[in-house]
Amino acid sequence: MNLAAALEPAHLELARNPLPVELPGDVRTRITHCREFVLDVSGSGRAIYGVTTGFGPLVEFAGRADGAGQSDNTILHHIVGHGGLMPPAIARAAVLARLFSLAQGRSGVSEHVVEALIAMLGTEFAPAVPRLGSVGASGDLQPLAYVAHALRGNGNAFFRGQLMPAEQALAEAGLRKLELDGRDALALVNGISVTAAALGLAVAQANRSHRTAELLSALMTDILGCGREFTSVELLAAFGHPDVADTGAAIRTWLEGSRPSGERPLQEAYSIRCAPQLIGAAGTSVRHAEVVVRRDLNGVSDNPLFFPETKEVVHGGNFFGQPSAFAADQLNVALVQLGNLAERQLDLLVDPQRTNGLPPMLSPQPGKHHALQGVQLCTTATVAAMRRAAAPASVQSLPTNLHNQDVVPFGTQAAFTALDQAGLLRYLHAGLAIGLRQAVHVGARRPQAPKLREVFDRIAGEVPPIVEDRPLDTALGATADLLDTIVSEVEGVR
């Protein structure tokens, strides 16, 4: 990966494994040039937030005189987070996002800080970062402070997935403790890189889940022998929403070679007939979130910013994660509605009154065996959990920090909720896929469309038919992984 290129949401997933990052000469030059400007200005006696001053509402007081002490001031009072630890993949994605922000050459960090982040990403080291503590206003102060804390050899960290003291993890990874001055430390913590990482990872999965919803809707249409009129080009064009038309086109492409059975109602239930409108609208929200997070990943979230070319030090609020907070909340709602659709499609599939007589719960021996009954119960519970988490975080502003932070966006919480919802949706889709596989086993037709027949065979190869009741939890996880793989392979289905 090259620091001169654009950082995409999907790139964040690469950080779960050791990731080589290239620091081109022109990027190194602008980082060095900005750093020299910071040193010149700070040596002139000019007040610079976080370099010569205290932090937050204590900005009116002088900071520590020495750089190491100022670094301690920045980091240590933020080591108060709690809740479960972020998975190492998310913490590493946040480091990648922070690295790209610092590489823009507006933060005034030392070159060795950038090199240390690059070195860390090349190993299996990950800071141990509590999930709760950021209001997303002065950036993700507390979680990013834990990143800096671990890189300095304090607190805890992961190495090869094992939690241990950070000093030990650094040694096992072959990394040196990071030394910071006040500006370095503030630049590391004063941005929305955790928010951007969580939202970017949510967007990457949401893109796959959006395509999975199209695939499973097409597979259900084929297996049940439904008519295809609801995907009509003219019908969807008249609706006027391009993403809806695109979803209709994707479903039509999957269905090529399939013919209706002629045994279905003139108008299907909305969970089939309105699938293009619902999935397409969700796609619009996913696309919007992707645009927003891409801007976050390639912008500079810090304060102050330094402009050597004009000799300016500009204090402002680029650490205020309102765009990502709004986008994450909108994405959250879209993911919940995709979950509602999957739950209703499964409900239709297990109901003999709406499947032309397939057995209840798709059981080959109703009463003796229960087939999809447990899966449906889990699906219902999962949708309920998703709905409960759908309240927007971006309007929960609470003043804090002696009213220095008198409005806050809570983008970090919004982004983590969206990421959680994307994970839950995978299992709803997996349950529906297992249901479609079982439906064929108990009497529904095999898919007629060649593309769908191939997909069905891959699902059937992963999940044997339910002849007698058995645990399906492992099968759900494996099927979720398989669906992600399938839609990634056929991303160009449109």
- Return the active site residues: 49
Q: Say which residues have a Cβ less than 8 Å from residue 46's Cβ, sequence separation at least 6.
A: 52, 313
Query: What angle, 0 to 180 degrees and rounded to 10, lies between the N-to-C axes of helices 450-462 and 473-489?
Result: 150
The SS3 assignment for 405 reads: strand
Q: What angle do CA 262, 267, 270 make, to 5 degrees?
A: 125
Please tell me the distance from the alpha carbon of residue 293 to that of residue 304, in angstroms, as a whole number: 21
Q: What residues form DSSP beta bridges with 312?
A: 307
Distance CA 344, CA 217 (A): 11
Q: Which of the 8 DSSP states describes residue 133?
A: -
Residues, the chain: 494
The secondary structure element, H or E, covering residue 157 is strand 156-159
Task: Tokens for 242, please give them.
Answer: 């391009």
Phi, psi for residue 383 in degrees, rounded to 5: -65, -40
Q: Are 329 and 392 in contact (CB under 8 A)?
A: yes
> Residue 165: is the preceding peptide bond cis (ω within 30°)?
no
From CA 392, how far away is CA 414, in angstroms rounded? 7
CA pair distance 42, 53, nearest whole angstrom: 11
- Please list the helix, strand and coil fractions of the chain in percent, rounded to the nearest 5, in that order: 60, 5, 35
Specify the DSSP element, H or E, that contains 325.
Answer: helix 322-349
Pairwise CA distance, residues 256 & 260, whole Å: 11
